[in-house]
Amino acid sequence: MADTKGVMIVGELAEGKLTSTTTELLGAAKKLAGDLGQEVIAVILGSGVGDAANEAISFGADKVYAIDNDMFADYTNDAYTGALEKLNAEAAPEVILMGQTSMGLDLASRLAFRLGTAVILDCVDLAIDPDTKLMQKTKPVYGGNAIAVYVGETKPQMATVRAKTMEPLQQDTSRSGEVVAFDPGLDVSTVRQKVVDRVKEEIEGIKLEDADVVICGGRGVGSAEAFDELRELAKLLNGALGASRPPCDSGWVPTNIQIGLTGKMVAPTVYIGIALSGSSQHQAGMSGSKNIIAINKDPEANIFGIAHYGVVGDYKKVIPALTEKCKELLSG
């Protein structure tokens, strides 16, 4: 079996530039590569990859493979898996990392199974074991109630990384590196998926992931109309509205404001959870919030276990009073 070498990351672009997750992956790769005494390799697939390769070098890549072809303009499972399979045969990396993004969660396991290796998804930490030199992969399990650490001996060692868990390097445009154009020579007729449309669902107002204040409602809010009160509070505090999974499943609010393990991940300065139990899956999406405030009539609600401030009471009585008082304090 060929010797494997190099920590490879699969980058993603948004409007021609590296996504923040990609810069975080490069930061993680730099550390792992340092511990292994190996190089950081980036691979960028797309059509019109352009300057992104140089940007990857400025964020830590020693070598960048640019896979630039019309057939990669849209991400499809078959095209990207096929291309990376060919690249893996050529480059023989020790490690391959991707972000736990919609691409990563679709591609990483397909590629791992294709390459006869193993992957762990949604890792929050990666570290080289000093004795075995293998990569230990840490991820939350049981919806976040527990943390598990995995390792595998098959190569390449693979993982996807949760957003905002790794630090990107300081960008340095004076860094030098090698850019290699790679043609995987894939037959387009072997690609069985075709993207025919893409729909952007715009959320009005402030984007959840960027908001400083998040007002989040749960199952206990009770109806679509009742969410209007929460919207009012969000507006007053210059915040964004979010929800746990049950209101989304019940159709009270759009699914794109779901905060949780498989939804949006937020870490605002102020998070106010209203009539939600705070299941571990929901906590996975907001436990990084700096100040957590919870209102729930159940004193045993899970959310109080991580909240900084809490009110045990019926939100229908608490929230109007809270909103009124906030109005008063903010206008004075």
Partner 1 sequence: MNMIVCVKQVIDPETPSASFKIDPDAKRALASKDKPMVISPFDENAVEAALKVKDANGGKVTILSMGGETAKDVIKHSLAMGGDEGYQMTDAAFDDSDSYATAANLAEAIKKIGEYDIVLCGRQEADWDAGQVGTGVAEILGIPSVTAIKKIEIQDGKAIVERVLADGYETIEVSLPLLVTVSNEIGEPRYATLKGIMAAAKKQVTNWSSADVTPAQARSQMLKIYIPVHEGECTFIEGDTPEEAGANLAAKLREAKLI
Residues 28 to 57 in contact with partner 1, rule: CB under 8 A: none
Report the C-alpha gap between 270 and 215 in whole angstroms.
8
Which range binds partner 1 by CB under 8 A, 34-42, 61-69, 176-184, 260-268? Answer: 260-268
- Contact at 8 Å (CB) between 248 and 255? yes
Nearer to partner 1, 179 or 306 (CB): 306
224 binds partner 1 (CB under 8 A): no
4 binds partner 1 (CB under 8 A): no
Site map for partner 1, 118-157, x if CB under 8 A? xxxxx-------------x--xxxxx-xxxxxxxx-x---
Which positions from 67 through 106 interact with partner 1, judged by CB under 8 A?
76-78, 101-102, 105-106
Report the C-alpha gap between 135 and 125 in whole angstroms.
10
Q: Say which residue the tokens 């669902």 belong to.
A: 201
Q: Which of 36, 41, 35 has its CA nearest to residue 56?
A: 41
Q: What do you get for the CA distance between the two ends of the chain, in Å?
A: 73
Amino acid at 125: D
Which positions from 193 through 222 interact with partner 1, judged by CB under 8 A?
193-201, 213
Which positions from 234 through 253 interact with partner 1, judged by CB under 8 A?
237, 245, 248-250
CB of 171 to partner 1, least distance (A): 23
Which positions from 271 through 290 interact with partner 1, judged by CB under 8 A?
277, 279-281
Which range binds partner 1 by CB under 8 A, 40-48, 58-66, 181-189, 317-325? Answer: 317-325
Report the C-alpha gap between 247 and 12 in whole angstroms.
32
291 binds partner 1 (CB under 8 A): yes
228 binds partner 1 (CB under 8 A): no
Report the C-alpha gap between 135 and 127 in whole angstroms.
5
Report the C-alpha gap between 216 and 221 in whole angstroms.
10
Amino acid at 238: N
CB of 43 to partner 1, least distance (A): 20
Report the C-alpha gap between 34 and 44 in whole angstroms.
22
3-class state of residue 261 by DSSP: coil
For helices 104-114 and 77-91, the axis angle rounded to 10 degrees is 50
Residues that contact partner 1, how many (by CB under 8 A): 89
262 binds partner 1 (CB under 8 A): yes
Nearer to partner 1, 37 or 299 (CB): 299
CB of 52 to partner 1, least distance (A): 19
Q: Residues 6 or more apart from 225 whose CB is under 8 A from it?
A: none
- Contact at 8 Å (CB) between 23 and 43? no
Nearer to partner 1, 33 or 112 (CB): 112
CB of 146 to partner 1, least distance (A): 5
Nearer to partner 1, 104 or 177 (CB): 104
152 burial class (0-12, 13-18, 19+ CB within 10 angstroms)? middle
CB of 48 to partner 1, least distance (A): 19
Nearer to partner 1, 40 or 237 (CB): 237
Which positions from 154 through 173 interact with partner 1, judged by CB under 8 A?
154
Q: Phi first, then psi: what are they for 135, rounded to 5°?
A: -90, 120
Q: Residues 6 or more apart from 179 whose CB is under 8 A from it?
A: 53, 54, 57, 63, 64, 66
